[in-house]
Amino acid sequence: MKKLVMLLIVIAAMAMMVPMVGAQGPSVYDSSIQVQNLDAANTANIVVEFYNQDGTIAHSFSDTVSASGSNTYFPLSVAAGFDGSVVVSSDREVAAIVNVIADNFAFGSSYGGFDGGAEVISLPLIMRGNSGFNTWFNVQNAGGTAATINVDYADSACAEGPITIQPGAAHTFDQATFSCLGTTYVGAATVTGNSGSQLVATVMEAGSQAPLLNLLSYNGFTTGSTELVAPLVQFNNSGFTSGFSIQNAGGTATNVTVSFTPGAGNPGTACTETISIAPGSSQTFGLFAFTLTGSNNTTCTRGQRFIGSAEVTTNSASQDLVGIVNQINFAYFGSAYNAIDPAAATNTVVMPLIMGQNSGFFTTWNLANVGGSSTNVSCTYSNSAVTSNQTLGAGEAWTLDHNNLFGGTYVGSATCTADGAGIIVAVVNEFTFTNNADLLFTYNAVNR
């Protein structure tokens, strides 16, 4: 059986939640799971297991997912008060995402499941008391034996551990209660397990100081790469701005240049920013070049409206890098996604959750051609005859709004394939326009 692991966080049932918007940041969480069957010919038989943090199984159930179909599990069938992790086992290849909801749909974020772990996990953005933002993260043991882990925080003398985590289970590290980091900390962390351990991690970023009342999430990195691609960055765009946080996962300082390229037909001028990153540390690109003050080694124009993509084009010491993109509009909306190793790009991406007119929720995607030549991209949707097609030149991106695409309510999944030698990556935004609520979710499409 193939397995996916998910750092699911469910602290209370939806019926017990109390709205908190305008008063504080997210405090009570619930989650949903979307599972997509990547086999076009066969039904997937799945088993979903919920693990308590002590390694015991709180609940499990079995189900089937139709060929090329997807299932949404919400509300989840686990008891109120559960705080743990999930393992999905399947006899077919599947992909999955988790949507996290807080305080009765006042906040939301999204992240993907993992199909394997590593001994070392890199976390490029960790915060304590940063303009009201604090992070907390769960580390899950995706292996078959107990794992002993330690956490080191960059540019500080702070560390946590050793902590032992049972197979399938997870442990929570909360920076808001970790006083060693001081009043304000903005940096990175590295999680290290014992030899042979298989670890994964997901980070939650919670903003509790108006107007930055947000919930964002991203996955920790099990591998790094010398290049990174971010398919969507935006600055000074109807209040939205981005921060591209890059961590040096190597052992030597390196000078990193990020090139910003506007999308076809979108506002902005191509430009660069260069920053030196120490081993284990992280730096934020774009935010200070386009929006805030503080970056001098840049050709970007502060205050200019920009919608496009970003890419690491120089890495002087060829160190392994990892990165995430935060996008916030300073008026409730905020989300995050993982930057992508272009070497991991393929000709096919799958998206486990696509929506149109779903009780006000809908999705958009940003799909980029990271290959060196033009390609035609064809997309199909589960349980729908609708198709989408686009020709993309080298480096071009495609933004598609799904809200009115299906002529009515739609909840399903999508698969996009590039022809010829085309290679593509994508991120998906889920949102609804609700006043005074952060209901912007972003997740990475799965390359296969």
> Based on the structure, what is the number of domains in the chain?
4
Same domain, 160 and 246: no
| Domain, as residue range, for 30 | 2-112
Mean pLDDT across the chain: 91
User: Is residue 310 in a domain?
Assistant: yes
Q: Are 233 and 309 in contact (CB under 8 A)?
A: yes
Structure confidence at residue 1 (pLDDT)? 67
- Beta carbons within 8 Å of 265's beta carbon, 6+ residues apart: none
Taking residues 318-326, report their average pLDDT: 98
Measured distance CA(142)–CA(5) in Å, rounded: 7
Measured distance CA(377)–CA(365) in Å, rounded: 13
Dihedral sign computed on CA atoms, order 150, 154, 159, 160: negative
Last residue of a domain, one of 85, 112, 139: 112
pTM higher than 0.75 = yes
Last residue of a domain, one of 184, 219, 254: 219
Q: Each residue of 88-147: pLDDT tens digit?
A: 999 999 999 999 988 888 889 999 999 889 999 999 999 999 988 999 999 999 999 999
Same domain, 287 and 358: no
Where does the pLDDT of residue 16 fall: very low under 50, low under 70, confident under 90, or very high at 90 and above? very low
User: Which residue is it, tokens 């960059």?
Assistant: 154
User: Is residue 330 in a domain?
Assistant: no
User: Is residue 336 in a domain?
Assistant: no
Same domain, 211 and 134: yes
Same domain, 106 and 128: no
User: Is residue 325 in a domain?
Assistant: no
User: Is residue 326 in a domain?
Assistant: no
Structure confidence at residue 329 (pLDDT)? 85
User: Which residue is it, tokens 């009515």?
Assistant: 408
Same domain, 125 and 101: no
pLDDT at 22 > cutoff 70: no
Same domain, 84 and 149: no
- CATH number (domain holding residue 370): 2.60.290.11
Same domain, 354 and 386: yes
Q: Are 249 and 122 in contact (CB under 8 A)?
A: yes
Q: Which residues, in sequence order, are bridge partners of residue 82?
A: none
Number of H helices, E strands in the chain: 0, 33
User: Is residue 334 in a domain?
Assistant: no
CA distances 126 to 48, 202, 209, 230, 320, Å, are 30, 11, 17, 19, 19
User: Is residue 428 in a domain?
Assistant: yes
Same domain, 350 and 440: yes
Where does the pLDDT of residue 8 fall: very low under 50, low under 70, confident under 90, or very high at 90 and above? very low
* Amino acid at position 248, single letter: N
Higher-confidence residue of 239 and 326: namely 326
Q: Each residue of 337-380: pLDDT tens digit?
A: 999 999 999 999 999 999 999 999 999 999 999 998 999 999 99
Structure confidence at residue 5 (pLDDT)? 60
User: Is residue 40 in a domain?
Assistant: yes
Taking residues 383-410, report their average pLDDT: 94
Same domain, 357 and 439: yes
Q: What are the E-state strand segments in 249-393? A: 254-262, 271-277, 282-285, 306-315, 321-328, 334-338, 348-356, 362-369, 375-381, 387-392
Same domain, 83 and 180: no
